[in-house]
Structure 1
Amino acid sequence: MAERGGMSVRARTTLAAAAVVGVVLVLAVALGLRYLSASLTGEAQAMAEARALAVADQLERGGHLLTVVDLDDPEELVQVVDAQDTEVGASASGRGLPVLTSLGADRISVREADGSARSYVLATATMADDAEAADLRGGTVVVGRALDSTQQVQVGATIALVAGAAALLALVTGTTWWLVGRALRPVERMREQADAISHRQLDLRLPTPAGDDEVARLARTLNAMLDRLDSSARAQRRFVSDASHELRTPLSVIRQNAELVLAYPDRVDTAELSRGTVAEVERMRELVDGLLVLARSDEQRLRPGRTPVDLDDLLLAEASRLRAAGRVRVDISGVGAVQVPGDPALLARAVRNLADNAARHATGLVTLRCAEVDGWGVLDVDDDGAGVPEPERARIFDRFVRLDEARARDTGGSGLGLAIVREVAQAHGGDVRVCESLTGGARFRLRLPLG
């Protein structure tokens, strides 16, 4: 699942998840350590304040520094200052230090004898002016509480939090890698199968995972697309085969006529052969024209204009042509004035195809009608022939479909006329359908929008 020249989706997703979780964990650890430091320092500060008040109270009542505090306690620093900011007593940790009340700080660092530094948090308490010891009246007791234990707790907490965050980050990264890989495994199988599909194997389909998630819906959508492509390719191959077959017949007749003239120039009726050749050439021309119309439709180039076209004029012209042929009677009593926007040549071809189809299958009567119905121009072409069986009414508009193969070939039908009618109708935003005629045969109804 790797992109060309880059990381795979799995790697990028895992990296993004790890980055987001990593940032959150860093912030959480930093805030946690800051809160812990503030909490431990505050606790030491509170202990120092309580101790300073206790020492000041005992000194006020006449206690001596030697009995009030443990002078050698390394965790505690005590300094007693009189009202003139002169040191009058100190514990072992506070000896040799400057007067702490003059520093104005709540935390100091003291260099020990071994060269190490020890940090203290300071608190003060002021003694009353009526203290028993005169030199302590109005003086100040400064108590410092060592932060060694606090720092040790902070180091341990830092190690624990960093280790926990690293473990959690590794767990999230590994879980994301596994979950994304599992989620993309069906996609990889689909890719491998798609890689095996070619124009010669369009019957293959992608594996569809169970469920109704995005991957399953994608697989079903792609398989539906392959179904359409397979159907289109089959239709294209059938179209090429049928077109080749249809073109072969008139070409064979033309060649046969030419060979007869060359072989027996004095014994053949050249006029009769010429008429037959012209008929086959005309048949082939109409077939090629039909193929070109369908090819333009397949390439989405069948875009009709918006020229006003009178459907009644097209029907009347076809009625005159059919009457001139003399094979069927034509009823035009139902022809009304109808005008639609479109391509005059394409619509004329569609109407001619419907009229020729009706004349080909009629026993003796073709009925033409057109009218405006609910915003549509409706054109009906009826015949009194055998009609179209209901199961065949959808298939009859496919290319090269003939319900009566022998009769259609004999009468010049190519099997493209109704397919062209459907393409022209759809290109104009309309449709065409077949149903039973009132005269017992088939009725082909062409609907086109009026506006």
Structure 2
Amino acid sequence: MTVLATVFTGVLIGLAGVLMLVSQRQEIAVQTADNSRVHFMCSTRSCVELLRHAPVATPAMSVRYASTEVRPALSLWPFTDATGTRFEQAGDGPRREQDEALAIAADAQERLNSATLALLGVLASITALVSVTVLAAANRVLRPVEAMRAEVAEINEHNLTRRVPVPSSDNEIARLGATLNETLDRVHHAVEDTRRFVADASHELRSPLAALRAELEIALQHPHMADWPTVVKAALEDAERLQELTTDLLLLARLDADALDRQDTVDLTAVVQREVARRAMVTLEADDQVLVPGRRAQLSRLLGNLLDNAERHAGTEVVVRLRGGTSATLEVIDDGPGIPEADRDRVFDRFTRLDEARTRAAGGAGLGLAIARRIATRHQGTLEATDADGFRGIRFVATIPTGIPQPRKATSLAQQRAGDEVWQFLNGSIVPTHGHIPEPRPAPAPDLDWGLIFGEHQPAHA
């Protein structure tokens, strides 16, 4: 910035200086010619110089008047040798002596040299002053940026609590510092969430693994005293719990990483009706054909997780309500003990389980509501826990923008429904919850979301 300002200022000042020097040379040349001009009164015999304030006798014969002046050829180079200045004598009067005319021209060149050096000094001083001013201003402006850079360079994964200094002024640099701090806050929270998620996942995976190992070790140490059917049944339960947990962890990881770039038009009413038909204590109130853009399998998983949570805590009744409009509103209400208002947002955190849901028999891993909210967020919607009107339990409200429904062939719908059930069976949401395996269906279409199901391992027929 300083170099550009110096060059720009030097070019402008140089152009202005050249114009000023040309004007100065012209002015000195004109002054020299005027000052060196001599007037004569000439007759046929001689010429008499006319001096100011000196009387001249009037000749008896006819006379003529003439003049002579010295016109120097001045150079703009300030170090020109004045004694070698070229000149010419103009006029129709008698010529001056060569030495006298050269002295007049040399004096004019010396005056121009002095003016040029003075002007160059002034221009150089102005350019230097501009350079110093720009450099000082740039350093003052960029000093907070350097402080931010130095602070960011010291931040690593072990000290994410550090923040960059923000200037008190309200300008672009202050806003840059505030934005950097906001970004660091998000990174800090993301890293802390990841660390907490890894720690919680390790703890949740260690418990069933420890129980499974202990059961098998005890049975192997006393094989004659072990009830092997009971041992195998307990090991199978622990394996199913591990399968559910790892499937939920994989799903959460893919929901966080994958973008919802491919969407279909899903009949949410049909999804709700099919999911509710598998439940015993659920009452349904739904509008006809509520269409939303999204993934059918994920929306089915959202409702399934909410219903699993409601059935786990409900007393006698669970109500599901679906309303259309600019946004589809899905409500799942139970008449259970409810959730304290202070914990209604915390229950959507991963591995969060309230006190009444901590037993292995009654409580899950604490991932169901987290997965449900993540699915709602991926569909540009929301999921909140509120008071249940007319119930003493809790109401979960999911809103999903309906958008513009697009027509779709019935064959693809049937194929995708078959794929949904395959997906639910593979991630363990049918067998552990409902205790049955769905009937065989036609092979799912190749365009199903196999990446969400299998990850990098694609099925052979696809």
Could you tell me which residue of structure 1 aligns to residue 26 of structure 2? Answer: 38
Query: Normalising by structure 1, what TM-score?
Result: 0.75
1:369/1:47 CA distance change after superposition, 3 Å? same
Could you tell me which residue of structure 2 aligns to residue 449 of structure 1? Answer: 401
Could you tell me which residue of structure 2 aligns to residue 76 of structure 1? Answer: none
Could you tell me which residue of structure 2 aligns to residue 340 of structure 1? Answer: 292
State the Cα deviation string for residues 55-101 of structure 1 (Å, max 9, x = none).
4xx448x996234269xxxxxxxxxxx99xxxx9998x99xxxxxxx
Number of aligned positions between the proteins:
379
Alignment of 1:219-368 (within 5 A): 219-299=177-257, 301-303=258-260, 305-323=262-280, 329-334=281-286, 336-368=288-320
Instruction: Indicate the structure (1 or 2) with the bigger Cα radius of gyration.
Output: 1
2:264/2:295 contact within 8 Å kept: yes
Could you tell me which residue of structure 2 aligns to residue 20 of structure 1? Answer: 8
Could you tell me which residue of structure 1 aligns to residue 408 of structure 2? Answer: none
What SS does the corresponding residue of 2:282 show, helix, strand or coil?
Answer: strand
Query: Which of 148, 153, 156 pairs up with 1:195?
Result: 153
Q: CA deviation at 1:392?
A: 2.3
Could you tell me which residue of structure 1 aligns to residue 115 of structure 2? Answer: 157
Q: Distance in 2 between matches of 1:353 and 1:312?
A: 17
Q: CA deviation at 1:288?
A: 1.0
1:63/1:171 CA distance change after superposition, 3 Å? farther
1:271/1:208 CA distance change after superposition, 3 Å? same
Could you tell me which residue of structure 2 aligns to residue 136 of structure 1? Answer: none
The answer to whether residue 360 in structure 2 is matched with residue 402 in structure 1 is no
Could you tell me which residue of structure 1 aligns to residue 172 of structure 2? Answer: 214
Q: CA deviation at 1:408?
A: 5.8
Q: Over aligned residue pairs, what C-alpha RMSD do you find?
A: 3.2
Alignment of 1:37-186 (within 5 A): 37-45=25-33, 51=37, 55=40, 58-59=41-42, 65-68=47-50, 116-117=83-84, 119-120=86-87, 124=91, 140-141=92-93, 146-186=104-144
Q: Distance in 2 between matches of 1:161 and 1:107?
A: 21
Q: CA deviation at 1:368?
A: 1.1
Q: Distance in 2 between matches of 1:116 and 1:212?
A: 64
What SS does the corresponding residue of 1:66 show, helix, strand or coil?
Answer: strand
What SS does the corresponding residue of 1:151 show, helix, strand or coil?
Answer: helix
The answer to whether residue 156 in structure 2 is matched with residue 205 in structure 1 is no
Q: Distance in 1 between matches of 2:385 and 2:301?
A: 18
1:337/1:370 contact within 8 Å kept: no
Q: Distance in 2 between matches of 1:178 and 1:343?
A: 59
1:360/1:47 CA distance change after superposition, 3 Å? same
State the Cα deviation string for residues 229-260 of structure 1 (Å, max 9, x = none).
11111111110011111111211222222223
Letter in 2 for 1:342: G
What SS does the corresponding residue of 1:402 show, helix, strand or coil?
Answer: coil
What SS does the corresponding residue of 1:425 show, helix, strand or coil?
Answer: helix
1:116/1:337 CA distance change after superposition, 3 Å? closer
Q: CA deviation at 1:178?
A: 2.8
State the Cα deviation string for residues 347-369 of structure 1 (Å, max 9, x = none).
11111101001111211110012
Q: Distance in 2 between matches of 1:204 and 1:279?
A: 46
State the Cα deviation string for residues 356-409 of structure 1 (Å, max 9, x = none).
011112111100121212x22221111111222223222221111122365464
Query: Normalising by structure 2, what TM-score?
Result: 0.73
List alignment gaps of at least 5 residues for structure 1. 1-12, 71-81, 95-105, 110-114, 125-139, 324-328
What SS does the corresponding residue of 2:392 show, helix, strand or coil?
Answer: coil
What SS does the corresponding residue of 2:279 show, helix, strand or coil?
Answer: helix
Could you tell me which residue of structure 2 aligns to residue 77 of structure 1? Answer: none
1:195/1:107 CA distance change after superposition, 3 Å? closer
Q: Distance in 2 between matches of 1:318 and 1:368?
A: 10
